[in-house]
Amino acid sequence: MIVFIVAIVEGHTETAALERLLQKIWSQLGRPERLQIVDFVRAARSKLVHLNAVALTEAIQKAVIQLAPHLRRNPGCQSLLLIDIDADKDCPAKLGPKLFQVAKVIRSDLNIACVLANREFENWIVAGASTLGGVLGLPDPIPVQFDVEVMKGSSWLDQQLRSVTANSKYKKADHALEFVKEMDIHEARTNSKSFDRLCKKLEQIPQAQVPKESETTD
């Protein structure tokens, strides 16, 4: 069986690396279903969090359109509409539930999860960075980083690259994908509450059900 996901995101980093990250988490959870990322719906963060909810409504409508044919062709499957944006300077524990409530008002029939990276997607990478030594020019070993949810992950990665090669630079989409492939998921869950929340949301997806064959009578 298949679990289908459409993700509402804000930037190129997520469209480049989030699918790989979700597949990696799914594998470590040991779920028997195949996880399929149907599509990414991109919108500016400033618009997605706006009180008028216009951009969020449009993004959800696009996500539903993407999901619909897959759900029709696969009875018994499960699906998830994942809203995954950066918390930036906002508190994810406050902004996340607000966005979730708005999303459920828009489509109460959907399985929706809203997970905000604290502070940005790269913070999740830094949370599991002990296995990244030497990857794409990072120092080996990687310095231990504490308080990973209060620093700016992309800046930290940039600093580490420059500590080895002065003219090196963190390139969001290209580097993030390779870093996600090598990061330690268990460590990231321990070091980042927001990342652990993402993992728990995937854990909570109900198992897909095999459709029962209709009974026949003589």
Q: Report yes or no on 121 lying in a domain.
A: yes
pLDDT confidence band for 212 (50 / 70 / 90): low
In order of 104, 121, 169, the CA distances from 55 in angstroms are 15, 21, 32
Q: Which domain holds residue 103?
A: 2-203
SS (H, E, C) 168-194: CCCCHHHHHHHHHHHCCHHHHHHHCHH
Is 135 contained in some domain?
yes
Cis peptide before 141 (omega within 30 of 0): yes
Residue 105 inside a domain? The answer is: yes
In the prediction, which pLDDT does 136 show?
97
How many domains are contained in the chain? 1
Question: Which residues in the chain belong to E strands, given as ranges?
Answer: 2-9, 34-42, 78-86, 112-117
Max CA separation in the chain (angstroms) = 79
Taking only the tens place, the pLDDT of each residue in 156-195 is 999 999 999 999 999 999 999 999 999 999 999 999 999 9
Q: What is the pLDDT of residue 144?
A: 84
Cα 211 to Cα 135: distance, rounded to the nearest angstrom: 45
Q: How confident is the model over 57-101, as pLDDT tens digits?
A: 999 999 999 999 999 999 989 999 999 999 999 999 999 999 999
pLDDT tens-digit readout, 117-149: 999 999 999 999 999 999 999 999 999 888 898
Chain centre to alpha carbon of residue 210: 27
Q: pLDDT category, 215, cuts 50, 70, 90?
A: very low
Question: Using CA atoms, how far apart are residues 150 and 87, in angstroms rounded to an integer?
Answer: 11
Please tell me the predicted confidence (pLDDT) of residue 210. Answer: 62
Residue 209 lies in a domain: no
pLDDT tens digits for range 20-47? 999 999 999 999 999 999 999 999 999 9
Indicate the pLDDT class of residue 1, thresholds 50, 70 and 90.
confident
Is residue 73 included in any domain, yes or no?
yes
Task: Please give the backbone phi and psi of residue 115, each rounded to the nearest 5 degrees, phi first.
Answer: -125, 120
